[in-house]
Chain A
Amino acid sequence: MDTFEKFGQMALAVALFVGVMGAILLLVGRARRRADLWQSLAFVLPALLLLGVGLIYPAVRTIYQSFFDRTSDEFVGVDNFTEIFTNSDMLIVLRNTAIWVILTPLLATFIGLVYAVLVDRSRVEAAAKAVIFMPMAISLVGASIIWRYVYEYRPDQQNIEQVGLLNQVLVWLGMEPRHFLVDTPWNTLFLIVIMVWVQAGFAMTVLSAAIKAIPSDITEAAQLDGLTGVRMFRYITVPSIRPALVVVLTTISIGTLKVFDIVRTLTGGNFDTSVIANEFYTQGFSLGDTGLASALAVMLFVLVIPIVAYNVRQLRKAELR
Chain B
Amino acid sequence: MTAAIPTPALQDELATVTPATITGRTRKRLTSRWASLVALIIAVLWTLPTFGLLLTSFRPERDIRTSGWWNWFGDPQLTLANYDEVLYGGSSLSTYFINSLVITVPSVIIPVSIACLAAYAFAWMRFPFRDTLFVAVFALQIVPLQVALIPLLRIYVDTGVNGTFWPLWISHTIFALPLAIFLLHNFFKEVPGELMEAARVDGAGHVTIFLRVMLPLVTPAIAAFAIFQFLWVWNDLLVAITMATGAQDVQPLTARLAELVGSRGSTWHLLSAGAFVSIVIPVIVFLLLQRYFVRGLLAGSVKG
**Residues of A that sit less than 8 Å from B by CB:** 1, 3, 6-7, 9-10, 13-14, 17, 21, 25-26, 28-29, 31, 33, 36-37, 39-44, 46-48, 50-51, 53-59, 61-63, 65, 111, 114-115, 118-119, 121-123, 125-126, 128-142, 144-150, 161-165, 168, 197, 200, 202, 205-206, 208-210, 212-213, 229, 243-244, 247, 250-252, 254-261, 264-266, 268, 277, 280-281, 284-285, 290, 293-294, 296-298, 300-301, 304-305, 308, 311, 315, 318-319
Contact = CB atoms under 8 A, between A and B. Distances in A.
B120 to A, nearest CB: 6
Q: Is the interface of B mostly helix, strand, loop or mixed?
A: helix
Contacts of B169: 13
Interface centre among A141, A161, A298 (most CB of B within 10 A): A141
Interface string B122-145: 100111101001000100101111
Contacts of A26: 207
B93 interface: no
Contacts of A46: 114, 117-118
Contacts, number: 374
A265 B30 contact: no
Contacts of B36: 118
Contact of B115 (A29, A47, A165, A318): A47
Contacts of A261: 237-238, 258
Interface of B: 1-10, 13-14, 16-17, 19-22, 25-32, 35-36, 38-39, 42-43, 46-50, 52-53, 56, 64-71, 95, 98-99, 102, 105-106, 109-110, 113-115, 117-118, 120-122, 125-128, 130, 133, 137, 140, 142-152, 155, 164-166, 169-171, 173-175, 177-178, 181, 205-208, 210-211, 231, 234-238, 241-242, 249, 254, 257-258, 261-262, 271-272, 275, 278-279, 282-283, 285-286, 290, 293-294, 297-298, 301-302, 304
30 contacts: A7-B102, A10-B165, A14-B106, A14-B109, A28-B205, A50-B174, A55-B178, A58-B148, A118-B38, A119-B39, A123-B27, A125-B27, A130-B290, A132-B42, A138-B283, A139-B254, A141-B258, A148-B271, A165-B48, A202-B297, A209-B14, A250-B4, A252-B2, A254-B302, A265-B237, A294-B150, A300-B147, A301-B143, A308-B4, A315-B5
